[in-house]
Chain A
Amino acid sequence: MTNNIKNNPMWAFLFGQVRSCHPGVPDALVKVPLFDHLSKRELRIVTGIIHHRTYQEGEFVFQKGQPGAAMFIIDEGEIEIVDPDQDEKCNVIARLGENTFFGELALLDDSPRSATAVAVKLTRIYAFFRADLDDLMNSNPHIGSHVYKSLAMIIGARLKATNEQLFNK
């Protein structure tokens, strides 16, 4: 029932549950946990600073070892995260679809990318640049701190999952 209400555009519009109908805010941005808890106005501010890119099939978004400068959110298409070190064929670590994100550690520092990201097909992506997040902390500390908090929670959750995997082995 709750889901029905959430997915109903009218209820969503009235209660702001599903934010995909926000004018001027991409769906992908609304659905990414990093921007959870942001209001419509705040989401519009974030929309104003992200970059829209289109990648052709087989085109690299970034390569392992390159310094990280931006996090990417998939709007449309598919991205493969591969580790080229394993063998010549490249080991596929993950295949990511719409409304997912990758490369988020680049928001913290410019340490080298740990894997390569390549477009499986024609893919539209939103890039969120680290320096823009830094600026956001000055101009809109409320939004910036929310993003950092979400980022910390996501990384914490991943660390927890990794630890559990290690203990279970």
Chain B
Amino acid sequence: MNNYLTSEDRLLQQQRARVLYVVSGLLVAGISVYLIWALRELILPIIIGMVMAYICLPLIDYLKGKRFSRFWAIIFLFGTFCLSLFYIINLIGQVVPDQREELELKVRVRYKIDQKFNQIMGLGSFAIIDGGNFFYSLLGKEIEPLKDSVDQVLRLSDSERKMLEKLHAASSATVKAAGGEKYWDYYQVNRRRDAERKRQQEIVKNDLRQEPDATPESTGGGESLLLVMFNAISLWLITPLVFLILLFDDGKLKKGLVQMVPNRYFEVTLMVLENINAALGKYLRGTAIECFLMATSFSFCLFVVGLDMRWAVSIGIIAGLANAIPFLGPVIGLVVGVLYAIMAEEVNSVFHFINPDNLIFAILVVVGVVQLIDNAVFQPYVLGGSVDLHPLVVTVGVMGGAVIFGFAGMLFAIPAIVVMKVVVFTLFDQLRAYYII
């Protein structure tokens, strides 16, 4: 039918097509931007589900190669994943204290942080404004707001305070005599510090907004926390769904997207997608294996140093997962380990010279040794040269990701840069090879 069209008609037809493409393109772009903005809370759970599915695809292929059907391979993998998750949650659940332990922990951590802070900064027991050593004059003003916010989290609410007092009253005299209620002394010190701090703040910042009351949590605090937890859990329910859908999809999504590509760019698109797949797959799978090895090494070393098994494994998992973030990951591991060292009151190490007072140094040594193993063994053998990025690019990328998207930005900055690098490096080569440019 097109044979009957004049050249003028063809020109008009092309113009109409162009207008249609531009308008529909703008419309789709607008709707996409709106949807991304409106559903931004879902982006992270979806991305994590996608990444997990992507990491697991070779496992599915491997199981299929072992004569599993795709369905059973996915079920097997998902079952293993759920069991592992259940085990980890259970393990962390053992570390998570009950109501009494939680109160004691809050009191103890607050006391210890205050004590160590004052010790390092050269402050007296209750000094807030005056005094302080060189470190305090250098960093005190920067760190203090951070410490105050930690204080806010750890401060007991009115109801918690009442409960603690009730528990203390109910404790037997023998426990008290044996010094089994050390937390009560800490609690008294914390209260005195609070009173002193409040007094000093009132003097200095009389005209400023008063610090929130020591009982910021209303009686409905518990309910709102539950609501927040419920919302977070319901939000994250999408992760396993995305994970399963993508595994069952079996490449249909990719096929559908490639279908929309014009013939001229068909082979180029497939080649570029393949290159991205190879580079990203190598990086993500390498990083996943590296994180696992790091978590195992951390857990083992912390256990040897004298941490309780539950804590060693929990801190090891956190440090291992955090290792996915270049530069900042080891710092997160270090901070968590040091925080534990600050609040630890007993250590059961195979090395008898390690005690609660020098545990912090032992943790520093552990972090250093594990990082050394990572740099010398894990990274060269597991990651290889999969991320051949300049350290400056990595640093700026991670920081930029953090500024724009927060924690998720830090986590996914490097994979995003890897994709961009591959696209930039291969796209132009391929476009030239296929005579497109």
A contact residues around B60 at 8 Å (CB): 139
- Cβ of B149 within 8 Å of any chain A Cβ, yes or no, is no
B contact residues around A140 at 8 Å (CB): 64-65
Number of residues from A at the complex interface, CB < 8 A: 26
B contact residues around A141 at 8 Å (CB): 65
Contact present for A53 and B58 (CB under 8 Å): no
Contact present for A66 and B433 (CB under 8 Å): yes
Contact present for B61 and A138 (CB under 8 Å): yes
Contact present for B62 and A53 (CB under 8 Å): no
- Cβ of A36 within 8 Å of any chain B Cβ, yes or no, is no
Kindly state the separation between the CA atoms of A51 and B261 in the bound complex, as whole angstroms: 11
Q: How far is the CB of A60 from chain B (nearest CB, A)?
A: 8
Contact present for A69 and B267 (CB under 8 Å): yes
Q: Which one of B58, B62, B65, B258 has the highest number of Cβ atoms from chain A below 10 Å of its Cβ? A: B65
Given contact pairs A52-B259, A69-B271, A139 touches B65 in the complex (Cβ within 8 A): yes
Q: Which one of B250, B274, B435 has the highest number of Cβ atoms from chain A below 10 Å of its Cβ? A: B274
- Cβ of A148 within 8 Å of any chain B Cβ, yes or no, is no
- Cβ of A127 within 8 Å of any chain B Cβ, yes or no, is yes
Kindly state the separation between the CA atoms of A65 and B61 in the bound complex, as whole angstroms: 34
Chain B residue, CB-CB nearest to A135: B61
Kindly state the separation between the CA atoms of A65 and B267 in the bound complex, as whole angstroms: 14
Kindly state the separation between the CA atoms of A79 and B388 in the bound complex, as whole angstroms: 43
Given contact pairs A66-B435, A138-B62, A139-B65, A48 touches B267 in the complex (Cβ within 8 A): no
Given contact pairs A66-B435, A67-B271, A140-B65, A51 touches B263 in the complex (Cβ within 8 A): no
What string of 1s and 0s marks CB contacts (under 8 Å) between A35-53 and chain B?
Answer: 0000000000000110111
Kindly state the separation between the CA atoms of A60 and B266 in the bound complex, as whole angstroms: 11
| Of B61, B263, B270, the contact of A131 (CB 8 Å cutoff) | B270
Q: B-contacting residues of A (Cβ < 8 Å)?
A: 48-49, 51-55, 59-63, 65-67, 69-70, 110, 127, 129, 131, 135, 138-141
Q: A-contacting residues of B (Cβ < 8 Å)?
A: 58, 60-62, 64-65, 250-252, 255, 258-259, 263-264, 266-267, 270-271, 274, 277, 430, 433-435
Further pairs besides A61-B263, A138-B62: 15, Cβ < 8 Å: A48-B252, A51-B255, A51-B266, A59-B263, A62-B267, A67-B433, A110-B271, A127-B266, A129-B274, A131-B270, A138-B65, A139-B60, A139-B61, A140-B65, A141-B65
Q: Which 8 A-B pairs have the closest CB atoms?
A: A139-B61, A131-B274, A139-B64, A138-B61, A69-B267, A67-B433, A66-B434, A129-B270
